[in-house]
Structure 1
Amino acid sequence: MGTRSRLLLTCCLAGLLTLGMTASVHAHDANAATQQGYASFYHDKFQGRTTASGVPFDQNQLTAAHRQLPFGTEVVVQRPDTGQEVTVVINDRGPFIKGRIIDLSKRAARKLGLIDTGVVPVVLTRIN
């Protein structure tokens, strides 16, 4: 790769990072320390249903669904636009809608101010 090509690639990557386009890169990497994407929350109809981990879903607990993180993983979910954050434990799989990286219990969604908007951009940080 020539110098011009490397410079162009570097500029393109820097531009993507500046625009916050890293979400699609990190959202699918369960080994990344942080991930960016969108959060949503469970509908009331899931209350009491069995989660993928085998425990009943309780919207009053601080839990969440993630496609790949191991069950029991603690994650800090932060809204970059407001600074609000909540710590949740992964106990289910999902969400299965493109662009969303985590589905939160209603209690966790309230702590993030997510109830009225339904979907918000978030940053996930693994604790354990």
Structure 2
Amino acid sequence: MPGQRAAGLASGRRFWAALLACAAMVLALPVVVLAHEDSGMPDPGATLSSDAEKPLSAQRSAIDLLSSDEDEEGEEEAEVLPSETGLASWYGPGFHKRRTASGERFDMHAMTAAHRTLPFGTMVCVRSQITGRGVVVRINDRGPHAANRVVDLSRGAAIALGLHGLGLKPVDVFPLSTGEDTCPPKRPD
């Protein structure tokens, strides 16, 4: 009986690991919504080939369509919503100069972070819900390894965010577009 139970547990773990790997791949895929130029709404009759011929700057993603509002004058006011909200922690001295999951050496003074699913190299803004301070970090490791956390910051990023010494802090995480290097404006309360 103990052998059967161990085999069942191992099989279950492989199933959940495969399921999580598939979910991570799906979450990493870009989402493109085909849109009418006039209305900004999806065109039900459009095909991928006609939109694929447009330059990327002319294409709008689902995030763009959901996170922007038009005022009466037609100007768009983009409200950027966090992709995740939860607790941030930090790590440093015990891991300094050790290899990260991406293969690079961990520098506890660099502006980097560990995330469970975001691709390595992704730039994200991590903003404290308490102070409103934000910091831009590059994902170069996997973690956090505690269930109730969304991101593990390097010591340097934790200091910049005001998290160093506190252990855990509630944060919002905003993945940034290619070329962006600043946090989105803080929403007025």
- Judging by fraction of residues, say which structure has more helix: 2
* Deviations 1:15-63 (CA, angstroms, capped at 9, x unpaired): xxxxxxxxxxxxx995696210110001411000000000000011100
Q: Which residue of 2 aligns with 1:47?
A: 96
Q: Which residue of 2 aligns with 1:4?
A: none
SS in 2 for 1:108: helix
Ranges in structure 1 where 5+ consecutive residues have no aligned partner: 1-27
- Judging by fraction of residues, say which structure has more strand: 1
* Deviations 1:67-102 (CA, angstroms, capped at 9, x unpaired): 000000000000011111100000000001011010
Question: TM-score scaled to structure 2, two decimals?
Answer: 0.51
Question: TM-score scaled to structure 1, two decimals?
Answer: 0.74
Runs of 4+ in 1 over 3 A off after TM superposition: 28-33
SS in 1 for 2:94: helix
* Deviations 1:4-23 (CA, angstroms, capped at 9, x unpaired): xxxxxxxxxxxxxxxxxxxx
Q: Which residue of 1 aligns with 2:171?
A: 122
User: What amino acid is the match of 2:150?
Assistant: I
Paired positions, count = 101
CA distance 1:97–1:30, change in 2 (3 Å): farther
User: What amino acid is the match of 1:122?
Assistant: V
Q: Which residue of 1 aligns with 2:84?
A: 35
CA distance 1:106–1:30, change in 2 (3 Å): farther
SS in 2 for 1:40: strand
Ranges in structure 2 where 5+ consecutive residues have no aligned partner: 1-23, 29-62, 64-81, 178-189
CA–CA separation in structure 1 for the residues paired with 2:164 and 2:128: 13
SS in 2 for 1:71: coil
CA distance 1:57–1:108, change in 2 (3 Å): same
1:109 aligns with 2:158: yes
User: What amino acid is the match of 1:50?
Assistant: R
The structure showing larger relative contact order (alpha-carbon pairs under 8 Å, at least 6 residues apart) is 1
User: What amino acid is the match of 1:80?
Assistant: Q
1:1-128 to 2 correspondences below 5 Å: 30=27, 34-128=83-177
SS in 2 for 1:37: strand
SS in 2 for 1:82: coil
User: What amino acid is the match of 2:138?
Assistant: V
